[in-house]
Amino acid sequence: MKLKPLSDRVVLKMVEAEETTAGGIILTGSAKEKPEVAEVLAVGPGGVVDGNEVVMNVKVGDKVITSKYSGTQVKLDGEELTIVRVGDILAIVE
């Protein structure tokens, strides 16, 4: 199954958090932070939303940083995805 976001929505897949620190320390499950970097899987068409023109600045394959608790979590074919508004994307990671 495939998701096609509407309006100013973007479908993201969170990138797995590192399990070891830069110094080689292995982190337990409770010490891991929620990942903030996600990969863009699908992008809506944009357009006029609530009377304002919305331009979609991201494309499929981009790595982005989102607001920590933004979006709606969905599970599709056993994969956990997040659907956010383009305004909840803070930056593109280059």
CATH of region 9-17+31-93:
2.30.33.40
Query: Which residues, in sequence order, are CB contacts of 45 under 8 Å at separation 6+?
Result: 6, 7, 56
Q: CB atoms < 10 A from the CB of 88, how many?
A: 19
DSSP state of 8: T
20-62 confidence digits (pLDDT tens): 666 766 665 544 455 578 999 999 999 888 888 988 999 999 9
Answer for the pair 34, 68: CB distance below 8 angstroms, yes or no: yes
Give the number of other Cβ atoms within 10 Å of residue 50's Cβ: 7
pTM higher than 0.75, yes or no? yes
**pLDDT tens string 53-63:** 988 999 999 99
Q: Which residues are CB-neighbours of 68 under 8 A, at least 6 positions away?
A: 34, 36
